[in-house]
Amino acid sequence: MPVGLPEFVENPENRCPVILLLDTSSSMSGQPIQALSRGVSVFKEDVQKDTKASLSVEVAIVTFGPVQLIQDFATVDQFSPPELGAEGYTPIGEAINYALDLLEGRKEIYKANGIQYYRPWVFLITDGAPTDSWESAAERVKQGEAERKFCFFAVAVEGADMKTLSQIASPERPPVLLNGLDFQPLFVWLSTSMKRVSSGKVGEAISLPPVGWAQITS
């Protein structure tokens, strides 16, 4: 029997992977990026209140632009919220493709170590429009959702290109528009959702808490 990675030997809990795909382009500078940074910290604090969730929920953070991995997958108890800075363009297509490749790699590691995992979440937050081609990324999102490989959420901050986000996101999970800079309620909602997921069985459907921090626009 193969020897597993130490992180899985020490913590064999089912994993609940979530990728935070965060727009850190120059238009997010100032108050928006500060509020986003604080929101990520609130997420860690809130998940840690639940012992099981803090051992199950694994977070990776990908920022754009440029696209970079600033936090590889780590359970919440091992994860340090980064201080985010804002610069560059908005390569949403590249960022999504990078995140989905990262996720596939993580699933292979779970399988190789005999770790069960819940349906992963990819959580995109942006205030802009893509500055690159995004069509192939949109196809991957829709196909992945249809095959239940992951849940893809798109959150628009004021100024975002809702029309394009609607074409990227799955029709069953349309983008939502954040109320102002209400990042903290958003991340508490995400934490509550992760707690519900991690307390259930793998593959089991769960009901998500109501979204009070955003509006769905048609």
What is the tens place of the pLDDT at every residue in 26-57? Answer: 999 999 999 999 999 999 999 999 999 999 99
Percentage with pLDDT > 90 across the chain: 86
Asked whether residue 218 carries a pLDDT value surpassing 70, the answer given is no
Asked whether residue 147 carries a pLDDT value surpassing 60, the answer given is yes
* pLDDT (mean) for 79-90: 93
* pLDDT (mean) for 143-150: 95
Instruction: Place 204 in a pLDDT band, splitting at 50, 70 and 90.
Output: confident
Phi/psi for 77 (5° steps) reads -70, -15
Instruction: Place 61 in a pLDDT band, splitting at 50, 70 and 90.
Output: very high
Using CA atoms, how far residue 209 sits from 131, 183, 186, in Å, is 33, 16, 11
Instruction: Place 217 in a pLDDT band, splitting at 50, 70 and 90.
Output: low
Asked whether residue 170 carries a pLDDT value surpassing 50, the answer given is yes
Instruction: Place 2 in a pLDDT band, splitting at 50, 70 and 90.
Output: very low
* pLDDT (mean) for 121-128: 97
Asked whether residue 82 carries a pLDDT value surpassing 70, the answer given is yes
Instruction: Place 1 in a pLDDT band, splitting at 50, 70 and 90.
Output: very low
Enter the pTM of the model: 0.95
Q: Are 145 and 172 in contact (CB under 8 A)?
A: yes
CA 142, 194, 7, 3 dihedral sign is negative
CA torsion, points 184, 208, 215, 135, in degrees to nearest 10? 100
What's the CATH number of domain 6-216, 3.30.470.10, 3.40.50.410, 3.90.1640.10, 3.40.1160.10? Answer: 3.40.50.410
Instruction: Place 206 in a pLDDT band, splitting at 50, 70 and 90.
Output: confident
